[in-house]
Structure 1
Amino acid sequence: MTEEQKKKLEQRLWGIANTLRGKMDADEFRDYILGFIFYKYLSEKMHRYANRILEEDGIEYLDVAEGTEEGDEILEAVREESTEQLGYFLKPSELFSEIARRGNAKGGEGSSRFILDDLQRILASIEQSTMGTESEDDFDKLFEDLDLTSTKLGRTADAKNELIAKVLTHLDDIDFELEKVDSDVLGDAYEYLIGQFASGAGKKAGEFYTPKEVSTILARIVTTGKTRLKSIYDPTCGSGSLLLRVAREVEQVGHYYGQEMNRTTYNLARMNMLLHDIHYSRFDLRQENTLTHPQFELDMRFEAVVANPPFSAQWNANDNMLADDRFSQYGRLAPASKADFAFVQHMLHHLDENGTMAVILPHGVLFRGGAEGHIRRYLIEEKNWLDAVIGLPANIFYGTSIPTCILVFKKCREHAEDVLFVDASGEDYFEKRKNQNFLRDEDIDRIVLTYRERDVNDKFSHRAKVAEIEENDFNLNIPRYVDTFEEEEPVDLNAVVAELRQIDKDMVDIDAKILSFCKELGIEAPI
């Protein structure tokens, strides 16, 4: 599929999504349209897989007679293989194309046939088909946000049915090209939709989406010098987009790990992984508060760790947390009103010795004092884990206009003698678009290349020795290290004086002309 065709697909899907726009908020109709796309994906994958199994017997999956002895035997055999290989099972009558066809058929008085009850049962059946299997956790309550009884879909059952049938019919007309092994058309389209929803969701967008441009920077940083990763971990994984962006930068990822507090966003992340054809056995996403209820064993280590945690969030910073292995060595906890460094400490605890960690944080973490200043000093002076500080432009995130930065950490640094500072916040390093700033490809490339080469560029980057940072009392505010001051051109005072004298001389001539005109007209002169 060409780039132009892909854009048309994305725009077509967005058009279908807008069928629901007038009914509910962006974050609400997001759950419906993405859930239906996911259901279509599961159906098409199931259909193709079942046909492949039955090909030797010359049977087409849709032709299997459900409810007959022979048909049920065939379906049971397909079920066993499908739940093991795909992680779930759908009967022929439960496939997306079949429910869309029934919804498109006209019932009494020309209305769509009623399919909501069937659709609700099918979505529940998908989850039930995984019970007792290895994929059970990955599908558990996956469709719980698709409330087909919501009055936002329509005031009456028939109105709801008409709307849903219309959406399913439009989706059924789209070919996701799953048969193309190298194609990730659907995954890309899904990411596009997530981004579109984020742009209209205001502050809520920060809960589930990191702009692709920023994700790309983090992904390229943590994969520097590597073609394969044993593991990736995101402790605030949102929709899973950052994990998937890292995977794009290498040939292979062994396993994906993530934790997300918001239940709806957690469901979205699991769908996103499956839609990108990540096998259920290769990802482990869990739902809970990362800081107070970490879901992975504390002795687990990951080769790449990335995150865009909620900025300056509140957390349970009581004294009991000082006994936690993640925080105990620092002697201080991040403030209860600002959990930024608590996330940093958590991530560093899980970072492998040969790994790289990149995290997006508000600028305040660079210079705030108290416990945060103590933690900064410990990380630099005692551990020497801080590898780079990268300042980003303001207003590049959905839902907030504050300037942000990327902190990069390594436990075994190749350049242990200094810390790289990059100031990419200047107007030359981004593009202004309507209400939001945007990083262009060349801006991303410049930041990543500067990090990888550790280049020193006037007014853009600087390598600071630990002694220099110590002189600044471990304050990491970027202007202390990268001088972006632009000197004004010197003023030639003699030229200015000469210009003023010439203006005075010209004014004398002008005044004389005005007097002459007034006298000629017989009126009083204004001077």
Structure 2
Amino acid sequence: MTQDINFMTKTKALIDNLKSVCANYGLGNDGNEFKIITQVFLYKFLNDKFRYAVKQENPKLADSESFSAALKELSDDDYSDLIDLLDPNIPRLQPEHLISHLFTKQNDDDFAKLFDDTLRQISIDNAEVFSVKSFTGAKDTLFDELSQYISDSSQRDAFCKALINKLFEFSFEEMFEQKYDFFATIFEYLIKDYNTDSGGKYAEYYTPHAVARIMAQILVPEPVKQVKCYDPSAGSGTLLMSIAHQIGEDNCTIYSEDISQKSSNMLRLNLVLNNLTHSIPNIIKTNTIALPSYLDTKFDYIVSNPPFKLDFSDFHASLDKDAFKKRFFAGIPNIPKSKKESMSIYLLFIQHIMHSLSDTGKAAIVVPTGFITAQSGIERKIRERLIDNGWLRGVVSMPSNIFASTGTNVSVIFLDKKADSSKIVLMDASKLGEIVKENKNQRTILTSSEEAKIIETFNDKTAIEDLSVVVSKEEIATKNYSFSAGQYFEVKIQYTDISAKEFEDKMKTFETNLNVLFSESKALEIEIQNNMKSIKI
């Protein structure tokens, strides 16, 4: 545990130092700071991952005084053989690509050009594994020419030199000796200053870890192998990382779509940090609703925290084509005359997810709580389909303000193509949690014991007073297809035995109280009438 905290402290210090360099060269809070920080951090991580993997294959290199010099001394054939032995997910680097090599060259003329050229060549050599694709198939670059973000060209060499010196100060290699669980925290720390969606597209970059864990542990209560997991609005990948850890990184392949280039790059970094590099080629930057890349692919597990409201009037007409009729079975929300930004795009994501499930597929979707009780429209049609098909496993209504970025009350619906329709779990967890202040806002945090209670109650299909009910799909149909646990809780009437004399006394008391109230009402009425007469005069 002490070593774990030590590594965490050092890693956070590296991030802070990189931000300090950016600030010193006028890029603090600049729009390009995000790219510099995340890409330089990724370069450092890949550099150390490569060094560690090579030393594992050839321990003699670990004893060399200069690792990069020892690599250079290998013949072309020996170096090629060494690279071929590496896991496909390990980056392919040349000796001159290493941070240690650049560190020795930092005082050379045009060091910024050398720095940019190095990152460019790494991008080219590793494009097959590390590139994020768009819907058209075009691949982005792993790294940008970072020195170009410094407008004063005379400062570029010094800027790149400062970055290399910070990267050289410590190594991730010791962290690879065993599996650490803190990379989710490191990722969150890395992006915390940039975790906003300035483009207004695809809502959340970040889902609370408690919600992500609950979704994953309810979705995957038992071990599974070789499954495909998907998020159609992936953001930075919190939900995907959680379910991948629950399943085991070696037992699943991740697929994702998101319209935001920024979030796609965040997700790539998240996959690298969490030992899921093999899934990077499956990240697609696209408009999932209008231009889905995985329309005909079926998935074993789907997790999603889709945007709830979004103006999609620009591509509304394109959704009504024959190819999408089966997908959007319940309909497409109309374009309102005003407040187009309030269009309920999440209803399209729910239908897309239902369409994308395999024959034994399971899904967990964050929805506004209003969805589970709406009595008409697309919401009602979706709920009817889920019940009639026997796909609803259950619903958990979360506490208010559990999401930092929305005040909307949310619920999580759990779908399962093989659900037990005689035992559907509806849970009202809205009264759980502890309220904490974050800046000027309030958030509700679930305790570890509350998380465990939600997961255990749901998976065990247990009915607990004022928390959960277990109902059949027939019962839900008779309740107008409501998914709200509160509508199924028993109404309790307390009975008290009293004598005839006690009953008579109580009735007299009620009568006396009523007479007093009627008298007061009459007096007040007369007073009002008198006041009205005086006003007229």
Bin the TM-score by the shorter chain: 0.7 to 0.9
For residues 353 and 374 of structure 1, what CA distance do their matches in structure 2 show? 21
Q: CA deviation at 1:357?
A: 0.5
| TM-aligned CA distance change 1:482 to 1:288, over 3 Å | farther
For residues 280 and 191 of structure 2, what CA distance do their matches in structure 1 show? 25
Aligned to 1:191: 187
The worse-fitting range, judged by mean Cα deviation, of 53-62 and 315-324 is 53-62
For residues 176 and 155 of structure 2, what CA distance do their matches in structure 1 show? 37
For residues 376 and 480 of structure 1, what CA distance do their matches in structure 2 show? 16
Unaligned runs of 5+ in 2: 336-342, 495-504, 510-537
Three-state SS of the structure 2 residue aligned to 1:420 is: strand
Residue 32 of structure 1 pairs with residue 33 of structure 2: no
| TM-aligned CA distance change 1:450 to 1:344, over 3 Å | same
Aligned partners of 2:54 and 2:86 also within 8 Å: no
Aligned to 2:514: none
- List per-residue Cα deviations over 1:401-426 (Å, max 9, x = no partner): 2211111001111x212432211222
Q: CA deviation at 1:53?
A: 5.5
Q: CA deviation at 1:40?
A: 0.8
Aligned to 2:377: 370
Letter in 2 for 1:473: N
Residue 172 of structure 1 pairs with residue 168 of structure 2: yes
| TM-aligned CA distance change 1:136 to 1:211, over 3 Å | closer
Aligned to 2:453: 446
User: Which of these residues, 252, 265, 268, is aligned with residue 266 of structure 2?
Assistant: 268
| TM-aligned CA distance change 1:268 to 1:136, over 3 Å | closer
What are the equivalent positions in structure 2 for 1:11-50 lying under 5 Å apart? 11-19=12-20, 20=22, 23-25=27-29, 28-50=32-54
Letter in 2 for 1:177: E
Q: CA deviation at 1:55?
A: 5.5
Letter in 2 for 1:97: S
Letter in 1 for 2:6: Q
- How much is the aligned-residue C-alpha RMSD, in angstroms? 3.8
Query: Structure 1 length as normaliser, TM-score?
Result: 0.77
For residues 238 and 155 of structure 2, what CA distance do their matches in structure 1 show? 34
The worse-fitting range, judged by mean Cα deviation, of 393-402 and 70-79 is 70-79
Q: CA deviation at 1:341?
A: 2.0
Q: CA deviation at 1:288?
A: 0.7
Q: CA deviation at 1:386?
A: 1.6
For residues 386 and 246 of structure 2, what CA distance do their matches in structure 1 show? 28
For residues 318 and 158 of structure 1, what CA distance do their matches in structure 2 show? 51
| TM-aligned CA distance change 1:363 to 1:61, over 3 Å | same
What are the equivalent positions in structure 2 for 1:55-66 lying under 5 Å apart? 61-63=67-69
For residues 98 and 390 of structure 2, what CA distance do their matches in structure 1 show? 55
Aligned to 1:510: none
Residue 210 of structure 1 pairs with residue 207 of structure 2: yes
Three-state SS of the structure 1 residue aligned to 2:148 is: coil
Aligned partners of 2:286 and 2:293 also within 8 Å: yes
Three-state SS of the structure 1 residue aligned to 2:247 is: coil
For residues 137 and 72 of structure 1, what CA distance do their matches in structure 2 show? 33
What are the equivalent positions in structure 2 for 1:339-418 lying under 5 Å apart? 339-368=345-374, 369-381=376-388, 383-413=389-419, 415-418=420-423
Aligned partners of 2:132 and 2:280 also within 8 Å: no
- List per-residue Cα deviations over 1:249-276 (Å, max 9, x = no partner): 1344232111121112212212221232
Three-state SS of the structure 2 residue aligned to 1:432 is: strand
Three-state SS of the structure 2 residue aligned to 1:355 is: strand
Q: CA deviation at 1:102?
A: 4.2
Three-state SS of the structure 2 residue aligned to 1:63 is: helix
Letter in 2 for 1:308: N
For residues 231 and 395 of structure 1, what CA distance do their matches in structure 2 show? 31
What are the equivalent positions in structure 2 for 1:93-104 lying under 5 Å apart? 93-100=96-103, 102-103=105-106
| TM-aligned CA distance change 1:351 to 1:259, over 3 Å | same
Three-state SS of the structure 2 residue aligned to 1:228 is: coil
Query: Structure 2 length as normaliser, TM-score?
Result: 0.76
Q: CA deviation at 1:437?
A: 2.5
| TM-aligned CA distance change 1:74 to 1:61, over 3 Å | farther
For residues 486 and 399 of structure 1, what CA distance do their matches in structure 2 show? 40
Q: CA deviation at 1:193?
A: 2.1
For residues 184 and 26 of structure 1, what CA distance do their matches in structure 2 show? 32
Q: CA deviation at 1:39?
A: 0.3
What are the equivalent positions in structure 2 for 1:64-213 lying under 5 Å apart? 73=76, 77=80, 81=84, 85-86=88-89, 88-100=91-103, 102-103=105-106, 115-130=111-126, 140-143=139-142, 147-151=146-150, 156-178=152-174, 180-184=176-180, 187-188=183-184, 190-194=186-190, 196-197=192-193, 206-213=203-210
| TM-aligned CA distance change 1:295 to 1:79, over 3 Å | farther
Aligned to 2:533: none
Three-state SS of the structure 1 residue aligned to 2:246 is: coil
Q: CA deviation at 1:462?
A: 1.8
Q: CA deviation at 1:359?
A: 0.9
Q: How many residues are paired up?
A: 473
For residues 322 and 474 of structure 1, what CA distance do their matches in structure 2 show? 29
Aligned partners of 2:53 and 2:86 also within 8 Å: no
Aligned to 2:472: 465
Residue 476 of structure 1 pairs with residue 483 of structure 2: yes
- List per-residue Cα deviations over 1:100-123 (Å, max 9, x = no partner): 4544x5x8xxxxx76322222111
| TM-aligned CA distance change 1:186 to 1:406, over 3 Å | closer
Aligned partners of 1:421 and 1:463 also within 8 Å: yes
For residues 317 and 176 of structure 1, what CA distance do their matches in structure 2 show? 48
Percent of pairs identical after alignment?
19
- List per-residue Cα deviations over 1:31-78 (Å, max 9, x = no partner): 322211110111122233445556679986511586xxx867358626
